Structure 1
Amino acid sequence: MGIEIERKFLLQSDAWRSQVQHSERMVQGYLVGAQAVRDGTASASVRVRRAGEQAWLNIKSATLGIQRDEYEYPVPLADAEAMLSSLCKGALEKIRHHVVVDGALFEIDEFLGDNQGLIVAEIELDAPDMSYPRPAWLGREVSTLPRYYNVNLSDHPYVRWTLAERDAVDAVVRPDAGQTEWDQALLDQTRLDQSC
């Protein structure tokens, strides 16, 4: 079984840009998306993604949190293009920047189109409690907030977010421990996100 353990963060500065080692444009669409997951008719999202001359089909469990079941398979580029144009409701576009800090890879997604203005950093870990570097440009953690999941961004893009959604205080970060303490505001916001 494939398991993804991933933490997601907002960014508090553009200082990461000077550390970019590689960037690639990505386009992805959902064959089974947020609405089916919310309705309970699906327990996973199914997405097709194209990056350069490569493409993948991805199945990810609809569980909340940093650890989710994930399966990914390469598909022919022509098939991916056909799925994106005929089977997906819309496309999510972004530029993924690769930044390495102390040996750890941060994938920084700079969204385009209806999600332009949103930039998030993701880091994949081997274990949920694994330590990781916290560069000064890394902002608050949003790993458990469904509105930041790509599947939800395709359905409810950043340009349609309210000011309250953009500015919500979701987590209290303890920089000394490098971990996150969830407060009551996060629990309330998570319930709100799940009801949307």
Structure 2
Amino acid sequence: MAVEIERKFLLVSEDWRKQVEKTLEMQQGYLSRDAQSSVRVRISGERADINIKSTRDGIYRLEYEYPIPMEDALELMKHVAHRPLIEKKRHILHVGRHCWEIDEFFGENQGLIVAEVELAARDEPYERPDWLGREVSTDARYYNSNLSKLPYKYWKDEK
């Protein structure tokens, strides 16, 4: 069984930008996006994947991801995926012994930036960098699948 334990945070400064080691451009389309599970197609560079996630609490998820042919991904994005598509840059950096992924959204979600860290256990300690703000791991509005339903630009608060 594939498991993902992830914590998600807002940011309080741009200081993280000085630590970025790598940046990837991504586009995601959701084929299914209900409250407890989602199926998405992601294109990042020359790679395409299909991903299935199921969550109960926003931190602990079952996750399965498999490569698919680029042609299939493009067709699914064009003809099957819900709109809007998720457009983002993923910035990768390390703090202590953990890899952080900072997603900077564009398009309908322009202005939203969140940091994520994957852990081996729910209670695993991790270093909290100064640029880390409020935790939003269990706030469903910040799930990418929900950002494709109600994009950030339409939120009335949290901006």
- State the TM-score bracket (shorter-chain normalisation): over 0.9
Match of 1:157 in 2: 151
Which is greater in Rg? 1
Structure 2 unaligned regions, length at least 5: none
Q: Alpha carbon RMSD of aligned pairs, Å? A: 1.0
Per-residue deviation, residues 151-175 of structure 1 (Å, max 9, x unmatched):
0001000000002xx16xxxxxxxx
Match of 1:6 in 2: 6
Per-residue deviation, residues 97-153 of structure 1 (Å, max 9, x unmatched):
001111210000000001010000000000000001100001110000000000000
Q: Which amino acid aligns with 1:73?
A: Y
Match of 1:27 in 2: 27
Identity of aligned residues (%): 54
Q: Once the 2 structures are TM-superposed, how far is the Cα of residue 68 of structure 1 from its aligned partner?
A: 0.9
TM-score normalised by the chain length of structure 2: 0.96
Q: 2-side partners of 1:114 and 1:46: how far apart?
A: 20
Q: Once the 2 structures are TM-superposed, how far is the Cα of residue 64 of structure 1 from its aligned partner?
A: 2.4
Mapping for residues 3-82 of structure 1, pairs under 5 Å:
3-33=3-33, 37-38=34-35, 43-82=36-75
Question: What is the number of residues matched between the two proteins?
Answer: 158
Per-residue deviation, residues 18-57 of structure 1 (Å, max 9, x unmatched):
1000001100000012xxx25xxxx521000000000110
Q: 1-side partners of 2:37 and 2:153: how far apart?
A: 25
Q: Where is the strand percentage greater, Structure 1 or Structure 2? A: 2
Q: 2-side partners of 1:62 and 1:19: how far apart?
A: 30
Between 1 and 2, higher relative CO (CA 8 Å, sep ≥ 6) is seen in 2
Moved over 4 A (4+): none
Q: Secondary structure at the match of 1:147?
A: helix
2:122 matched to 1:122? no
Q: Secondary structure at the match of 2:21?
A: strand
Structure 1 unaligned regions, length at least 5: 168-196
Q: Once the 2 structures are TM-superposed, how far is the Cα of residue 78 of structure 1 from its aligned partner?
A: 1.1
Q: 2-side partners of 1:29 and 1:63: how far apart?
A: 22
TM-score normalised by the chain length of structure 1: 0.78
- Contact map agreement 1:64 1:146 (CA 8 A) in 2: no
Q: Where is the helix percentage greater, Structure 1 or Structure 2? A: 1
Q: Once the 2 structures are TM-superposed, how far is the Cα of residue 62 of structure 1 from its aligned partner?
A: 3.9
Q: 1-side partners of 2:58 and 2:20: how far apart?
A: 27
